[in-house]
Amino acid sequence: MIVLDGLCRSFGGRPVVRNVSFSVGPGEVVGCLGPNGAGKTTTMRLLLGLLRPSGGSACLGGPAGYLPEVFAAYDGLSVRAYLRFVARMKRLPAATVERALDAAQVREIADRPVGRLSKGQRQRVGLAQAVLGEPPVLVLDEPTIGLDPAQVVEARALVRASADAGAAVLVSTHLLAEAAAMCDRVVVLVGGAVVAEERPGDAADLEARFLRLVATAELT
Amino acid sequence: MSDLVSYVILGLSRGLIIGLLALGLVLIYKGTRILNLAQPFFGLLGAFLCWWLTVEARFLPFTAGSRPRFAVAAVLALVLVGLNGWSLERTLFRKLRRAPRLVTLVASIAIAQGTLGIVTLLFNRNADQAEQVRIIPTVLRTNFVIGDLGVTGGDVQAFLLVPLIAAAAAIFFRVTRFGVAVRAAAENGESARLLGISVDRVAVFTWVVGSVLAGIAGILLSAQQGVLTATTLSVGFLVRALAAALIGGLTSLPGALAGGLIVGVAEAVIGGYFPSTIGLPETVFFAAVIIVLVFRPHGLFGTPEATEDKVAFVPSIRDLPAKLRESEFVPVLRRGSLLTVVVFAVAVSLASGSATNGILVNVVVYSMVAVSLTVLMGYTGVISLGHWALVGVGAFATANLYTKHHVPFALTVPLVVLIGVWLSVLLGLPALRIRGLYLAIITLAFGYAAELYLFKSDSLAEGQTGISIVPPKLGPVNLDDPSNRPLFMVGIVMLLSSIWVARNLARSGTGRSFFALRENEKAAATLGVGLTQAKLVAFGISGGIAALAGVLHSLNIGNVNSVEYPAFTSIILVSMVMIGGLGSLTGPILGAFLVFGLPFLVKFDNQWIVPLGTGALLLVVIVEAPGGVAGLLRAVQRRVLGRLVDIAEREERPDPEVPPPGAQPDLVT
C-alpha cells in the first residue's frame, strides 16, 4: 500500500506540492488527475524517494515498480537483456523476466534493441520493467501515452490484473476516460494541493466535475 | 631477430602503461562525464609518494630501498592516491555534477596544476632536490636480452601486472552487481537512479579506482624508466593517454587498453625507424586522433554517446540595472578607467627598469592571448587547449621571415597575422565535425605536436638551437632598446587594437551569430546562422590575434626556441582566462596580470607557487565566483555608477523641503 501524509515540496521557495495526503490500499487503483503543472509527477517522485520532501512523509508497503514520464532505457540492449539487467539491479530472480515479457506483451519484440522500438513498444517495455517481479506497489506516470487503442485496452487490463493480485497502484493521467475506466478512486491535484478525492463515475460525468473543480480551485 | 619485433616488444611494454593511464581516464569519464586532465599528475604523485616511502621514510619497517619495503610503500602510496581521488570527488566534483563540461574540464586543469604544484613543493623545491637521482626498485630483477633489445624487470612487471588488472576489471564490470551498476550509471545516470543505483557511490568509486590506476601506472612507469623526475609523467603522457582513449573510444574500457597498446607500439616503431626526426610520433598521434574522430567519432571500440551535454559555459555576469545602464556615466567611466589603466601602465614602465619592463611585455603578450581565447572560447564556446602553440607559430614565423629571409618588419607583421589566421582556420576544420571535449583534445595534441615537431624541425626552427631575432627600429622607436620600454609601448598599441577588433566583433552580426551557436548550435542553425562560416571566422580572428601576440613575444625573448612554447602553457592559458572571467575582455587581461605578471613582479615565482596558486585561485573562481575578476569588476562598476547617478540626480532637482529662493521675500512681509 501507499500512504502519503502531508507531503510538501517547494523548488526555490515556490511550493509545488502542498500538504498532499491520501492513500492507496492493496488491490486498489487510484488515479492522480490534474491540469499540467499540478504537481502530479513531483508527487510521484517524492513518494519514490527520488526527491526529498520539504515536509511530510510517504510510506510504501514494499518495493515499488515505477514507470517514469519519460522512460529512458539503455538503447543498445535488447528488451530481454534490459529486463534481465533491471532484475539484477532489483535483486530479483531471472525467471521474473519471462513473466514480465508476457504480462506487458513484449515477448515478440524481446530480442530487438530497445533503441529501435516504436514509441508504443518502448512504453510497453517501460511497463514491463515496472511490473517486473510483481511488486506490491506500482507507480505509473502516464502509462498509456503513445499506445494505440488496442494496446491501451491491454495496458489497462495489465494494471487491473496487478491490482487484483494485491498491488497498490497509483496512476497519473490526463485522459479522463482512461481514469474512469481504470481507477477505483481518483485524486484531483490543482496547484499542488488535493482538491477532491472521489469515485470516478462515468467518463462524461468525470469530465464535467473535473473542469468545475479546476475552475473553482484556480479561482480561489 | 628483426628490428621490428624488438620495437614492438618495447612499444607493448610502454603501451600497457599508457593503456593503464587511459583506463583510469575512461573510467572516470564513464562514471562522471569528467575528462580528468589531472590523470597523469595523479600518477606522478603516486610515483613520488612510493619513492619517498621506499627510500626516505624512516617510520616504515624493512630496510630503505629493499623489495619488501617497496611493497609496503607501493600499497601505502596507492592508498594515499586513492584517498586523494576520494576527497576530490567529495569536496569538488560532486558540486560540479550538473556543471557544463567546460567547467569540469577547467576544474580538472586546476587539480592538475595543484597536483603538479604539490609534487614540486614536496620533492622538487630547490636545486638539491631537482638534482637528486630517484630510483624506484623493481620487484622483478630479471634482465634478459631479446635480439639486441634489453628487457628489464620494469618491462616484465608491466607485462605481468597490467593484463592482470585488465582481467580483474573485466570480471568486475561483467560479473559483479556493482560493476554492472557502475556501467549502467555511466551510460544513463537518471535511469540508474530509478533502479536504486546511487550515482554518488558510482562517482566516488570511479574517482578512487581511476586515481589508483593512475598511481599504479606512475609507479610502473618510473620502475620501467629507471629514474623518476618531475617530468616523468606530464603533458606527454596526458596526450598519449588521451590519444589512446580516443582511438579506443572514450567510453570503452577494453578500448582504452587496446588504444594504449596501439599508441605505444606505433610510437616505438615510428621512433625506431625514423630516429632522426624528432617529434614524428607525436605528430602522427595528432593526425591519427583527427582521422579517428572525423571518420569514427566513437573510436574503434566505443559506442556513440547518447547524451549531448552542454559544453560551452560563460558565467552570467549580472547586467547593470536598467536605470544605471542608460546613464551617461557608463561610457565616461569605461573610457576613464581604460585611460587610467593605460596611463598607470605607462607610468610604471617609465619608472622601472628593463627587467620589470620585460615582465610587463610578457603580460601584454598573455593579455593578447586572453583576447584571442575570449573570441574563441568566450564568444563561440569552442575550447582550445593549444593556443600557446599558435603564439609559437607567430613567433617562429616572425623569426623566419624577419631574421632569416630579411622581410621588412612592416611587412612581416601582417604576413605573420595572415599565417596565424590561415593555420588557425586549418585547425578549426576538424571543429566542423568534432565538438566539445573531443575538439579540446585535438587542440591539446596540436600543441604537443607543435612543441615537439614543428618547433624543433630543422627547416622552421634551426633544430633545437632556435633563431635569434634582433628587434627592429621603427622610425624613431627603437624596439631593441635595452630598457624594453618602447617594446612595451608598441605592445600596448597591439593589445588595444586587438581589444578593439574583438569588441567590435562582439557587437557585429558575426559576433551575435557566435553567441547564438555557443548557446545552442541547433537553434542557431534554424535561425540561419552558418555554423561552418561562423566557427571558421572565430578560429581565424582568434588565430590572427594569437600570432600577433607571437610577434611581440619573439621580440621580447630574443631567441625563438621550442623551450619557450611547451604544450602545458596552453592549459594554463585556459586557467588564466577562467580566473579573469570567461566572455569578458577586461577580466582575462587582469587574469593574465595575476597569473603571469604579479608573481614575477613581486619575485614570488617559485616553481611551485605559480601552479599551486593558479590552481587554488581557479578552484575558488569555479566554486565561489564563476564571474572571475570580471564579475568583481562589474560589482565595483555598479556601486560607483550608482553613487554617481545619485549625486547627479540630487544636483538636478532642487530639494523640495527648502523653499525656492524667490518665495522667501513674501514670507517676510
pLDDT tens column, B393-407: 999 999 999 988 889
Bridge-based pairing of strands A168-172 and A137-141 is parallel
Summarised one tens digit per residue, pLDDT across range B552-600 is 999 998 888 888 999 989 988 998 998 988 888 888 888 898 888 888 8
Nearest CB to A76 within list B177, B181, B303:
B303
Interface test with B, best of A89, A114, A125, A139 (most B CBs within 10 A): A89
- Across the interface, whether the CB atoms of B184 and A90 are under 8 A apart is answered no
Element (H, E) at B477: strand B477-478
- The CATH class for the domain spanning A39-172 reads alpha beta
Identify the closest residue of chain B to A87 by CA–CA distance: B195
> Going by C-beta distance under 8 Å and a sequence separation of 6 or more, which residues neighbour residue A160?
A29, A182
Residues in B closer than 8 angstroms to A76, CB to CB, are 303
With an 8 Å Cβ cutoff, the interface of chain B facing chain A consists of: 177, 180-181, 184, 187-188, 190-197, 303, 306
Residues in B closer than 8 angstroms to A68, CB to CB, are 194
pLDDT (0 to 100) of residue B439 = 86
Distance between CA atoms of residues B80 and B45, nearest Å: 9
Question: Where is pLDDT greater, at B161 or B98?
Answer: B161
- Across the interface, whether the CB atoms of B197 and A89 are under 8 A apart is answered yes
Evaluated on CA atoms A71, A75, A80, A86, the torsion sign reads negative
Beta strands in A45-143 (DSSP E): 55-60, 64-67, 137-141
Q: How far is A71 from chain B (nearest CA, A)?
A: 8
Q: How far is A59 from chain B (nearest CA, A)?
A: 17
Identify the closest residue of chain A to B183 by CA–CA distance: A74
Mean pLDDT of chain B: 86
Residues in B closer than 8 angstroms to A73, CB to CB, are 188, 191
Q: Identify the DSSP state of B61.
A: S
- Across the interface, whether the CB atoms of A76 and B191 are under 8 A apart is answered no
- Across the interface, whether the CB atoms of A88 and B180 are under 8 A apart is answered yes
Q: How confident is the model at residue B657 (pLDDT cuts 50, 70, 90)?
A: low
Residues in A closer than 8 angstroms to B202, CB to CB, are none
Bridge-based pairing of strands A64-67 and A137-141 is parallel
Identify the closest residue of chain A to B186 by CA–CA distance: A74
Q: How far is A90 from chain B (nearest CA, A)?
A: 7
Secondary structure (3-state) at B70: helix
Residues in B closer than 8 angstroms to A85, CB to CB, are 180, 184
Q: State the complex-level ipTM.
A: 0.77
pLDDT (0 to 100) of residue B668 = 40
**The pLDDT of residue B140 is above 80:** no
Q: How far is B181 from chain A (nearest CA, A)?
A: 7
Nearest CB to A75 within list B184, B192, B306:
B306
Q: How far is B191 from chain A (nearest CA, A)?
A: 6
pLDDT (0 to 100) of residue B655 = 59
Residues in B closer than 8 angstroms to A90, CB to CB, are 195-196
Summarised one tens digit per residue, pLDDT across range B189-210 is 778 888 888 888 899 999 999 9
**The pLDDT of residue B305 is above 70:** no
- Stated pTM of the model: 0.84
Summarised one tens digit per residue, pLDDT across range B206-251 is 999 999 999 999 999 988 888 888 888 888 888 899 999 988 888 8
Q: How confident is the model at residue B310 (pLDDT cuts 50, 70, 90)?
A: low
CB atoms within 10 A of CB B624: 7
Cell of B83: 584517498
Residues in B closer than 8 angstroms to A72, CB to CB, are 188, 190-191
With an 8 Å Cβ cutoff, the interface of chain A facing chain B consists of: 50, 66, 68, 72-76, 85-86, 88-91
Residues in B closer than 8 angstroms to A66, CB to CB, are 194
- Across the interface, whether the CB atoms of B195 and A73 are under 8 A apart is answered no
Distance between CA atoms of residues B267 and B288, nearest Å: 12
pLDDT (0 to 100) of residue B191 = 80
Q: In what order do the strands lie in the sheet with A2-11?
A: A14-24, A2-11, A55-60
CB atoms within 10 A of CB A85: 20
Identify the closest residue of chain A to B174 by CA–CA distance: A85
Residues in B closer than 8 angstroms to A89, CB to CB, are 177, 180-181, 184, 192, 195-197
Tell me which residue of A208, A169, A211 sits closest to A190, measured CA to CA: A211
Q: How confident is the model at residue B666 (pLDDT cuts 50, 70, 90)?
A: very low
**The pLDDT of residue B669 is above 50:** no
Domain ranges of chain A: 39-172, 176-220
Residue A153 identity (one-letter amino acid): V
Cell of B573: 592559458
Cell of B638: 555598479
Evaluated on CA atoms B282, B283, B287, B293, the torsion sign reads positive
Place of cell 469530465: A207
Q: How far is A216 from chain B (nearest CA, A)?
A: 36
- In this structure, chain A runs to a length of 220
- Across the interface, whether the CB atoms of A88 and B191 are under 8 A apart is answered no
Q: How confident is the model at residue B107 (pLDDT cuts 50, 70, 90)?
A: very high
Which residues in chain A land under pLDDT 50? Answer: none
Q: How far is A181 from chain B (nearest CA, A)?
A: 28
pLDDT (0 to 100) of residue B661 = 52
pLDDT (0 to 100) of residue B667 = 43
Q: How confident is the model at residue B659 (pLDDT cuts 50, 70, 90)?
A: low
**The pLDDT of residue B665 is above 50:** no
Identify the closest residue of chain B to A66 by CA–CA distance: B194
Q: How far is B332 from chain A (nearest CA, A)?
A: 39
Interface test with A, best of B190, B191, B193, B307 (most A CBs within 10 A): B191
Secondary structure (3-state) at B323: helix
- Across the interface, whether the CB atoms of A86 and B303 are under 8 A apart is answered no
Domain ranges of chain B: 2-124+132-295, 323-468+480-633
From residue B522, how far is each of A39, B379, B528 by CA, in Å?
31, 16, 10
Interface test with B, best of A44, A47, A60, A74 (most B CBs within 10 A): A74
- Across the interface, whether the CB atoms of A73 and B191 are under 8 A apart is answered yes
Identify the closest residue of chain B to A45 by CA–CA distance: B194
Name the phi and psi angles at A196, rounded to 5: -160, 150
Q: Tell me the longest C-alpha to C-alpha distance in chain B.
A: 124
First to last CA, chain A: 33
- Across the interface, whether the CB atoms of B195 and A89 are under 8 A apart is answered yes
Which CATH number is associated with domain B2-124+132-295?
Answer: 1.10.3470
**The pLDDT of residue B654 is above 70:** no
Identify the closest residue of chain A to B185 by CA–CA distance: A74
Distance between CA atoms of residues A158 and A106, nearest Å: 13
Distance between CA atoms of residues B371 and B588, nearest Å: 7
Given a contact cutoff of 8 angstroms between Cβ atoms, the answer to whether B395 and B561 are in contact is no
Nearest CB to A66 within list B184, B194, B197:
B194
> Going by C-beta distance under 8 Å and a sequence separation of 6 or more, which residues neighbour residue A132?
A65, A83, A86, A87, A90, A92, A96, A97, A100
Evaluated on CA atoms A133, A138, A141, A144, the torsion sign reads positive
DSSP character string of B218-273: HHHHHHHHS---TTSSSHHHHHHHHHHHHHH-TT-HHHHHHHHHHHHHHHHHHHHH
CB atoms within 10 A of CB A112: 15
